[in-house]
A and B are shown apart, each in its own frame.
Chain A
Amino acid sequence: MQSETTFTSLTCEAIAATLADYADGVGSAPNDVRAHVETCLRCQAEIVQYRRLLRNLHTLRTEVLEPAPGHLTAVLAHLEAAGERRAIRSIMSGRRGAYVGGIALATAAAGAAGAVVLAGRARRRALAS
């Protein structure tokens, strides 16, 4: 689509990829690009059209598409269900922790009781001998 017009050392095709950026105000054009654009009506027209395109794209940001009625309710219900699932998982993991803790406590208590019994036996043996 680009012409091969050469006004400077650059062709229209060579700078085509950068024109939208310059229209967007990204960076400043190098001197050779600027020199080409200043003398090339086609590239100037292209920049003008890119500006128009970018301006129109930007205005889309102010528009809001309304989703179908009920969608917001559905999203909130979905979140509610996810929240409940999380809460249940949290409770279950809490119970699991309590269960494991209880076993650990019981094991420790049994160990302590065993130690007391063994110590008592040892003491009785010592007294008997």
Chain B
Amino acid sequence: MTADLAERVAAAKAGDRAAFDDLVRATHADAYTLAYRLVGNEEDARDVVQEAYLRAFKSIKKFREDAAFSTWLYRIVANCASTSLSKRSRHRHEILDEEALIEDTRVEIDPVAHNEALAERDRLTAALRELPDALRSVVVLRDVYDLPHEAIAAELGISEANAKVRLHRARRKLRETLYPLRGEDQAHAV
């Protein structure tokens, strides 16, 4: 956590509303990105982020600062996303938002390699979207956001053992889809 962010966290904990607004501004895009990756569509992601910040606002005094503010916020987003996913009808048509802007922060060195990396990333995000919600949540929280199994289990309301099983299934499904070995079903390739 940067010194400035830590300062704003301390002020927000002391009841400074403007400081909390600053924290929202500083973390909003990250929170939205996580929410989008978890729920898979823009509309639900917006609702999840709104609810997450409301919960964070109400419980900021309980934030113990033994983890980064962003990690604490990610856990709240994960919890809100889990609630949203459980409410969502399993048969609802999932709208893929083609217009979501992606800001690539990497330095472009080799255009060919860069384009290949972009294509591979697109295949990965598409494969992630194809995963069942229960598997996607776990693999995103663990392998993209580095949350520990314990935190993932707590926020998704499942056991740690279940979280590990879901992670294994998600990784396996992604690998089989993206990098099938000889003899594996090629029809899954994205």
Binary contact readout A55-68 vs B (1 if CB under 8 angstroms, 0 otherwise) = 01111111111111
Main SS of chain A's interface residues?
Answer: helix
Q: A20-B171, A53-B171 are in contact. Are A79 and B49 (CB under 8 A)?
A: no
Question: Which chain A residues lie closer than 8 Å to B42 at the CB level?
Answer: 67-68
Binary contact readout B99-132 vs A (1 if CB under 8 angstroms, 0 otherwise) = 0111111100000000000001100110000000
**Is B176 at the interface (CB under 8 A from chain A)?**
yes
Q: Is B143 within 8 A of A42, CB to CB?
A: no
Closest beta carbon of chain A to B94's beta carbon, Å: 16
Q: Is A56 within 8 A of B28, CB to CB?
A: no
Closest chain B residue, CB of each to CB of A83: B17
Question: Which chain A residues lie closer than 8 Å to B21 at the CB level?
Answer: 76, 79
Sorting the interface of chain A by its residue count into under 10, 10 to 19, 20 to 34 or 35 or more gives 35 or more
**Is A126 at the interface (CB under 8 A from chain B)?**
no
Question: Which chain B residues lie closer than 8 Å to A50 at the CB level?
Answer: 171, 175
Closest beta carbon of chain A to B15's beta carbon, Å: 10
Q: Is B172 within 8 A of A16, CB to CB?
A: yes
Closest beta carbon of chain B to A119's beta carbon, Å: 50
Q: Is B33 within 8 A of A63, CB to CB?
A: yes
Q: How many residues of B contact A (CB 8 A)?
A: 49
Question: Which chain B residues lie closer than 8 Å to A66 at the CB level?
Answer: 29, 32, 100-101, 103
Q: Is A79 within 8 A of B144, CB to CB?
A: no
CB proximity to A under 8 Å, residues B1-42: 17, 20-21, 24-25, 28-30, 32-33, 36-37, 42
Q: Is B144 within 8 A of A61, CB to CB?
A: yes
Main SS of chain B's interface residues?
Answer: helix
CA distance in complex: A64, B32 (Å): 8
CB proximity to B under 8 Å, residues A34-70: 42, 45-46, 49-50, 52-54, 56-68
Q: Is A67 within 8 A of B28, CB to CB?
A: yes
Question: Which chain A residues lie closer than 8 Å to B139 at the CB level?
Answer: 57
Select one of B101, B144, B184 contacting A65, CB under 8 A: B101
Q: Is B24 within 8 A of A75, CB to CB?
A: yes
Select one of A3, A58, A64, A82 contacting B33, CB under 8 A: A64
- Leading 7 A-B pairs by shortest Cβ distance: A49-B179, A57-B143, A67-B32, A65-B33, A66-B101, A20-B171, A1-B184
A-side residues, CB < 8 A to B, are 1, 3, 16-17, 20, 42, 45-46, 49-50, 52-54, 56-68, 71-72, 74-76, 78-79, 82-83
